[in-house]
Amino acid sequence: MKKIFASIIAIALFAACSKDFLELSPVDEQTETSFYQTPAQALQALVSVYSQLNIGDYDNIHLVSEIASDDCFGAGGTSDLVWKQWDRFQEASNMNLGLWQRGYTGIYRANVLLSKIDGVNWGTDSTLKATYTAEARFLRAYFYFDLVRVFGNIPLTTKPLTVSEYNMPQATPADVYKQIAEDLQYAANNLPATAYQGISPNNYGRVTKWAAQSLLGRVYLYYTGYYNQPDLAGVVTKTQMISYLENVINASGYGLVDSFPRLWQASGKSFVGEDNKETVWSIKFTYKGLGNWDQHNGNRMQVDIGIRSQVIGPYYKGWGAGTVTPKLWNAYDATDTRRGASIISIADENLTAYSVGDQAQYTGYFWKKYMPLNDGNADSKGGNFQIDNYFDDIIIRYSDVLLMAAELNLDVDLSKAQNYYNQVRDRAFLNTTSRKTLTGDANGKKLIMEERRLEFALEGLRYWDLLRQGISVAKAAIDNSNSDNQFDVNFRTETQGLFKIPEQEINLSSGVYKQNAGWAN
């Protein structure tokens, strides 16, 4: 952690993000004493926090969590190790370092802005300060949520640290979740209640009141499930959480797109487009780095999951990570439109030109969501296919809000829960005859969790949904044995689902940080 904080003190590290409001020039040759004077400078500092959302390579948290789940294997090439290590819960000295550094760099930048925001000359605009503060606190909460789910025992700070404070002890998860809840509540209460239809396209990608309320729901369900607690760290009760989610449902202007396949670029001309009415919040990407490896504007996860080393059919090339398990493909009903929209089946799509080559853990199934496409590929736009893929990473969809509200209403208002659940399932099957009846008990919860798996396959939610149901549930789902031992996976319950803290950070703390159970230092 010392290395992270020490290396990012300079304001010159503030970099531009991408698309619309995020396309601001970097801050060059500024000092901390001369900066943070005007609202424009405050916005540049806020953009520097947003820019950390784009950081992610082979260790992108979206991809890593899918590989750790039961829906994907590690895969990649036969000589690739790192994805297989996540898949098999194996050790490497500095695995997860990118996840750690991404999160704490974002938190540091948010803390700097929040510590300076009172010194900005806001003039007569009384709302801008509250809005920027709310956005920074949302982003800090988002980064902390990623870190605490992955590592469990992490340092917690809400201010820039001095050198003497670098080696602060790890906080309890309850304290971290309390801070996350307070930050998201602040964001929910202070961001304007602008409905989707009134949001300027120039502001797509900026967090909103609805994103804050929705993310709070995700945090609430994970914390109360994984830690078996009655509320969110004493900050948000179940009744309050239902109210937040139902406010999104009733007042946000978001809704379901009419056809599930149209949500994804692979639907071609039928694609409804990014920033559609179902996208409550997404991380924005662009190809405009145009091959510049110093830029971080492209969605690196796309090249990771691309079909390995070949252009085939409508799909462009990549490294073949995260091959989809047959178990996920078979979990879908054949008439469920989500199956073919979420997963590429080499056989079902008659991709006869496909060659396995050095693809490891080949299953016949690849991601369709986020798969780079040949039409409009990054190379054809003057970029580099390794770094300039540009599909946005959708973090929260409206269907997630519906299913979270259904889950929380199971033992509160079963008719509401059924209605929310029906909306998602009706869209998936394009009829009302494929519905299932919820009950206000464990069986109802099981149906909702099954629906979440099918609805959000390959969207980075499955691993966390398993863990919040219990370690035994996660192990039963993730463990895999096969006559071909390259597919063997053993979820190690002693880790409690937590990942290894990078050894570099343990060593830099001079023994202050303690490694998570089940992992060697």
The rounded distance, in Å, linking the Cα atoms of 246 and 224 is 19
Residue 475 lies in a domain: yes
Q: Do 183 and 138 meet the contact criterion of CB atoms below 8 Å apart?
A: yes
Q: Check pLDDT > 60 for residue 321.
A: yes
User: Does residue 7 sit within a domain?
Assistant: no
Containing domain of residue 366, as a range? Answer: 254-490
Which of 1-15, 200-214, 281-295, 353-367 bottoms out in mean pLDDT, i.e. has the lowest?
1-15
Residue 520 has pLDDT above 80, yes or no: yes
Q: What is the CATH number of the domain that holds 440?
A: 1.25.40.390
What is the chain's percent helix, strand, coil content, to nearest 5? 50, 5, 45
Three-class SS of 171-226: CCHHHHHHHHHHHHHHHHHHCCCCCHHHCCHHHCCCCCHHHHHHHHHHHHHHHHHH
Environment class of residue 142 by beta-carbon count within 10 Å: exposed (0-12), middle (13-18) or buried (19+)? buried
% of the chain at pLDDT higher than 90? 87
First to last CA, the chain: 15
Name the residue with tokens 């780095």: 289
Is-contact 238 231, C-beta < 8 A?
A: yes
- Domain annotation covers residue 409: yes
Residue 29 covered by a domain: no
Helix (H, G, I), strand (E, B) or coil at 248: helix
Q: Give the count of beta carbons closer than 10 Å to the beta carbon of residue 60.
A: 23
Does residue 112 sit within a domain?
A: no
- Structural contact between residues 27 and 18, judged by C-beta atoms closer than 8 angstroms: no
pTM over 0.75: yes
Average per-residue pLDDT in the chain?
A: 93
pLDDT digits (tens, 9 = 90+) for 47-57: 999 999 999 88
Q: What is the pLDDT of residue 4?
A: 35
H-type alpha helices, 430-502: 442-455, 462-467, 471-478
Whether residue 69 lies inside any domain: the answer is: no
Spatial separation of the C-alpha atoms in residues 265 and 302, rounded to whole Å:
12
- Across residues 166-186, what is the average pLDDT? 96
Amino acid at 39: P
Q: Which two tokens stand for residue 62?
A: 């979206």
Cα 243 from Cα 229, distance rounded (Å) = 19
Domain count across the chain: 1
Q: Is the C-alpha dihedral spanning 79, 81, 82, 85 positive or negative?
A: positive
Q: How far apart are CA 362 and CA 322, in angstroms?
A: 10
Q: How far apart are CA 366 and CA 308, in angstroms?
A: 10
422 closest CA partner among 445, 442, 399: 399
Q: What is the pLDDT of residues 342-373, one digit of tens each?
A: 999 999 999 999 999 999 999 999 999 999 99
Per-residue model confidence as pLDDT tens digits over 9-25: 333 333 334 345 555 44
DSSP string of 264-319? SGGGGGG---TT-TTEEEEE---STTTT-TT---S-HHHHHHSEET--BTTBPEE-
Instruction: Summarize the confidence of residues 276-292 as an average pLDDT.
Output: 96
What are the C-alpha distances in Å from 118 to residues 8, 176, 366?
22, 25, 49
Name the 3-class secondary structure at 247: helix
Q: Residue 36 domain-assigned?
A: no
DSSP 13: G
Q: Is residue 103 part of a domain?
A: no
Residue 353 CB neighbours (<10 A): 10
Give the confidence band of 161 by pLDDT, cuts at 50, 70, 90: confident
Residue 262 backbone dihedrals phi, psi, to 5 degrees:
-70, -10
Of the pLDDT bands very low, low, confident and very high (cuts 50, 70, 90), residue 126 is confident
User: Does the pLDDT value for residue 2 go beyond 50?
Assistant: no
Please tell me the predicted confidence (pLDDT) of residue 17: 40
